[in-house]
Amino acid sequence: MRCRTPPLLTWSAALITALAFSWAWVGPASATGKPQPPPRSAATTLEWVGDIALSTERGLPAGGLERALSSVAGLLRDADVTLGNLEGTLSVGGNSKCGGIGSGTCFAFQAPPSTAGQLRGSGFGLVNQANNHSLDYGLSGRAQTLAALRQAGLAQTGLPGEITVMRVGGTRVAFVGFAPYSFDANLLDIPAAQDLVRRAKARAPLVVVIIHAGAEGADALHTPYGSEFYLGEDRGDPRAFAHAVINAGASIVLGSGPHVIRGVERYRGRLIAYSLGNFVGFHTLAGGGVLSDSAILRVTLGTGGRVLAGRWIPIALDDGLPRPDPTNASAKLVAALSREDFPSDHFAIGANGRFRLPVIRPAGG
């Protein structure tokens, strides 16, 4: 869909940052009353999905979001933490950036604050807020969104300078989200992004970088070299950015924004998933053809971010809602795109979506 960000909003970065909250896991109390961390684990399993956009004024799924996601909720809970990109706000009232719900090339999304609890109930543990819809209803919309997420116990990341640290599967994990805007952690400033990743790395052994980048639409399946533009807006250089943050210490890079699936790259042994398309777009995101191909990416990471296992779980959107896809269409698509765009640097993905990882033989073996 077309999601132009109109001339926005010269919000103060300091004011926006002040809305952020820090997140840390706290374990159950021991007999002494002190929180006890869970046992450490050598492996951490993450799941990532594509864009999630809901709109009260465009209509919400009958029975609520949890019911709408019931056919995939079991899949979303098969990980230590499940992540998604939340497009729009969870708020009421306020002024839309489009002067209404939007039309043409301007779209604004606003869903009820109760959506946060429904996302949490469906299996999500963290959402990315760095994208072109995070200020659809201004600072009030963002503040309400952050409050709703916090009340639901759903973590978030993506504000300027924000590092969200959680204990996931027994390991401390830092999450950092980026988009090509000054009101988020800015993807266009690569040196500053690298510095933020280095600071995250100092706080946790695993650093998950989430990006919202690239052109949009059915013709944006491939990951090009160089900067990408959409409706005249600089959407960043996804390849250069992903490589730079891995060089700075990121363990994995998870992407969204193009609204279609893109290939999966292997860079310095780390995984970069440039886009999983849409995941929830009920009456908000365009569908049909490749715009309805979706997935849940499940990755198990070892020390430093080494990929121990991976599975691309094919999903198809039905009226903008995710359903398991027995045809495995998106797995076949991502395998082909990965071979074409990263011919010597991709993960082999079988027709069933399982990653075929290279065998690492011990030295001298």
Place of tokens 């992540």: 83
Which CATH topology does 38-356 take?
Purple Acid Phosphatase; chain A, domain 2 (3.60.21)
Place of tokens 């000054």: 182
List the chain pLDDT tens, one digit each, 365 residues.
444 444 444 444 444 444 443 444 333 333 334 444 444 457 999 999 999 999 999 999 999 999 999 999 999 999 999 999 999 999 999 999 998 776 678 999 999 999 999 999 999 999 999 999 999 999 999 999 999 999 999 999 999 999 999 999 889 999 999 999 999 999 999 999 999 999 999 999 999 999 999 999 999 999 999 999 999 999 999 999 999 999 999 999 999 999 999 999 999 999 999 999 999 999 999 999 999 999 999 999 998 899 999 999 999 999 999 999 999 999 999 999 999 999 999 999 999 999 998 765 545 54
Going from N- to C-terminal start, the domains of the chain cover 38-356
pTM for this prediction: 0.89
- Determine how many CB atoms are found less than 10 A away from the CB of residue 147: 16
DSSP 65-131: HHHHTHHHHHHHTSSSEEEEEEESEE--SS--TTSSSEETTEE--EE-TTHHHHHHHTT--EEE--S
Cα→Cα distances 112→84, 98, 144, 224, Å = 17, 19, 10, 37
DSSP 124-164: --EEE--STTTTTTHHHHHHHHHHHHHHHT-EEE-STT--E
Nearest-angstrom CA–CA distance, 313 and 330 = 8
